[in-house]
Amino acid sequence: MRYVVVPWLFLIPILALHAFVVVFPAAQGVFYSFTDWRGIGEAEYIGLRNFEEMLFEDQSYRDALWRNIQWMLFFVTVPFAFALFGSSLLAKVRRGAMFYRTALFMPFILPSIVTATIWRYLYNPRFGLPTLVGYEKALLGQSDTALWSIAFADNWHFWGFLMVLFLTAMQGIPPVLYDAAKVDGANRWQEFWHVTLPGIRPVVLFMLMMVMIWAFLVFDYIFILTGGGPAGATEVLGIDIYKNAFQRFEAGYAAAQGISISIFAGLIVSAFAFLRKRGWEI
């Protein structure tokens, strides 16, 4: 009996804290999503009205969701390609390895306001990077380039983190596998494809899942660099929710939108859980 009770006694503080800061606010969020709450004052129950509006009437929501999907497609490809390439190269480096790793990881630990502000200046068409190639337009000021420009800035801050994770995973691959590959006459690409990638696959797939979830939570870089503009071109769900909650006084509707993000995250996790059941190493 003691063996059953004592561990739970130790867990009570963290469970209580979790209930207080996660479970209770989340339950409140679910409750408010069924109300017309304006962010202050009393809330009136309106059933599924918020969800009906979100799914069938609100074009802004659909547009924002599509931008989140574009964001996700960018982040499951570009930073992964950067990180896999970078970690493969760095895995072979012995002299100055720590310097390179630190330098590439550094942007990840900088506050987003710092990196976003740096990129705002880098993108300035009067004196920034575009002038180097004779481009005189503002990348953040055009509807067709703004989202990708912000994604690239965010990628610059993010890919070093992925690289370090992959590098750590690569160090767990037994060297004997590489020796065997060499004996079999494998070149660098074949080594990567047949030894390295299978060796780090659980980490890659786990990070794929996380990045897909994070893609629906993006807010800071876009809020700092464009605030959702120009002309709504970078308005993702996070920005739309912020506007609804704090500027339009539609906190109940914003809560419903937040619930939808949780549902997307749940679907992603379920898909990966399904693949795991089918024997994928995740």
Partner 1 sequence: MMFKMRFFTTVLLALLLALMAGATAAQDSTVTIWAGDDDTGACWSSLLVDTFPREDITIEVVLQPGTNLVDTQRTALQGGAGPDITFSHGPAFMLELASAGLLLNLDVYADEYNWGERFAPWALDLGRVEGSLYSLSEELETVIMYYNKTVFEEQGWEIPTTMDELYALADAIREAGLDVMGPAFGECAPCVEWAVSVFLSHHAGPDKVYEALTGQRPWTDEAFVAAITDLKDIVQDGWFMGSLDLFFSDTFDSAHALFGVGEIAMSFEGTWMLDNYQRDFFGEPAGNDNEWDWFSFPTTFTEDQFFIIGVGSSWGISSATPNPDEAAAVLDHYYSTGFQAQMFEQCGVAPAPLIYEGDVFANSDPREARLYEEFGQASAKGNVGYTSWSFWPARTNVWLWEQIVRVYDDQLSVEDYLAGMQSEFEEEFADGLIPPIPAR
**Least Å distance between CB 14 and partner 1?**
24
Verify binding: residue 133, partner 1, rule CB under 8 A.
no
Nearer to partner 1, 29 or 232 (CB): 232
Nearer to partner 1, 194 or 243 (CB): 243
Residues 40-59 that bind partner 1 (CB under 8 A): 40-42
Q: Which of 26, 31, 78, 124 binds partner 1 (CB under 8 A)?
A: 124
Nearer to partner 1, 140 or 200 (CB): 140
**Least Å distance between CB 11 and partner 1?**
28
Instruction: Give the chain as a 3 state SS string.
Output: CHHHHHHHHHHHHHHHHHHHHHHHHHHHHHHHCCECCCCCCCCCECCCHHHHHHHHHCHHHHHHHHHHHHHHHHHCCHHHHHHHHHHHHHHHCCCCHHHHHHHHHHHHHCCHHHHHHHHHHHCCCCCCHHHHCCCCCCHHHCCCCHHHHHHHHHHHHHHHHHHHHHHHHHCCCCHHHHHHHHHCCCCHHHHHHHHHHHHHHHHHHHHHHHHHHHCCCCCHHHHHHCCCCCCCCCCCHHHHHHHHHHHCCCHHHHHHHHHHHHHHHHHHHHHHHHHHHCCCCC
Residues 135-154 that bind partner 1 (CB under 8 A): 137-143, 146
Verify binding: residue 126, partner 1, rule CB under 8 A.
yes
Q: Which of 226, 257, 259, 268 binds partner 1 (CB under 8 A)?
A: 226
Site residues for partner 1 per CB under 8 A:
38-42, 120, 123-126, 137-143, 146, 225-233, 243, 246-250
